Amino acid sequence: MSNYPTPPFKSQKQPVPGDQSKMDPYPDCGEKSYKGSGRMANKIALITGADSGIGRAVAIAFAREGADVAISYLDEHDDAKETARWVEEAGRQCILLPGDLADKAHCSAIVNDTVKKFGRIDVLVNNAAFQMTHETFEDIPDEEWVKTFDINITAMFRICKAALPSMPAGSSIINTSSVNSDSPSPSLLAYATTKGAIANFTAGLAQSLGPRGIRVNSVAPGPIWTPLIVSTMTEDDITHFGKNTPLGRPGQPVEVAPIYVLLASDEGSYISGTRYGVTGGKPIL
């Protein structure tokens, strides 16, 4: 077992959306540790929010398992280029797709660009998310509530709809939910509400697409050490992040990636409509 960092962490508040290269400790996305075994040979994957954090860990794992990867991200160009470097170092092709998923046209564009480059999409990972913390319900601005839904769940609907014509039987859709879908944090109410919606969207879509041979699942991470944390939470929350889990620490992105590999690979051929928790021991029901 790796000796992963435990809180307290040093003060390191960043502006949104956060820069992974400036985080201390630096998140482990499997750059030095993930070992592939050909479980996704020659598959094509589109991953949103893949510049850093969980998305980067999934991109690295997919590439080392044999997949070519399209990386969708907002504007964190340096982080995205670093992810692409690791994908290409694994001997796989990679394209970068910057832009705002709150824009309906961009949701279609990332799908079209992926299909234009690779011909199809075998694995779609809807991972991009936005969150902000607020002390009270009244502190949540209306425009922020709408933005959170646009990025976290409406974009997911649009991307799935655009991608389906290019997804053959045997394909897999994996949506990133959260432990907040089961145990919502009041300080993350907008985010938590979208994550509950994602869990239900996933369960319903799995039933709709089952006859086409397309599987749909969601992953519910607990506290994972990513740029989203240092750019959207309070200094105190950052310092003690992950302390209240049974394992007493936050998870590292590399610890989440293996469940995405299972759900994306043919080994998961009878797994659909389910939510998988990676929570450091905090139960989800």
Whether 255 maps to a domain, the answer reads yes
Percent of the chain residues topping a pLDDT of 90: 97
Return the minimum-mean-pLDDT range out of 12-21, 38-47, 194-203: 12-21
Q: Is the peptide bond preceding residue 17 cis, with omega within 30 degrees of 0?
A: yes
Domain that holds residue 164: 20-274
The DSSP secondary structure of 116-137, one letter per residue, reads HHHS--SEEEE--------SSG
Distance of alpha carbon 240 from alpha carbon 249, whole angstroms: 9
Whether 3 maps to a domain, the answer reads no
Give the global pTM. 0.96
**212-233: per-residue pLDDT in tens?**
999 999 999 999 999 999 999 9
Split into its structural domains, the chain has a count of 1
Residue tagged 């482990």 (tokens): 28
Options 191, 260, 270, 276, the catalytic residue: 191
Whether 176 maps to a domain, the answer reads yes
Whether 15 maps to a domain, the answer reads no
Contacts of 274 (CB under 8 A, 6+ apart): 206, 217, 218
Tell me if residue 194 falls in helix, strand or coil: helix
Whether 177 maps to a domain, the answer reads yes
Q: Write the CA distances from 17 to 77, 79, 217, integer angstroms.
A: 12, 11, 26
Angle in degrees, 0-180, between the axes of helices 155-163 and 104-118, rounded to the nearest 10: 30
The chain-wide mean pLDDT, for the chain, equals 96
Whether 247 shows a pLDDT value over 60: the answer reads yes
CATH number, position 241 = 3.40.50.720
Tell me if residue 218 falls in helix, strand or coil: strand
How high is the pLDDT of residue 1? Answer: 53
Whether 285 maps to a domain, the answer reads no
Indicate if 4 belongs to the active site: no
Distance of alpha carbon 64 from alpha carbon 122, whole angstroms: 16
Whether 4 maps to a domain, the answer reads no
Whether 2 maps to a domain, the answer reads no
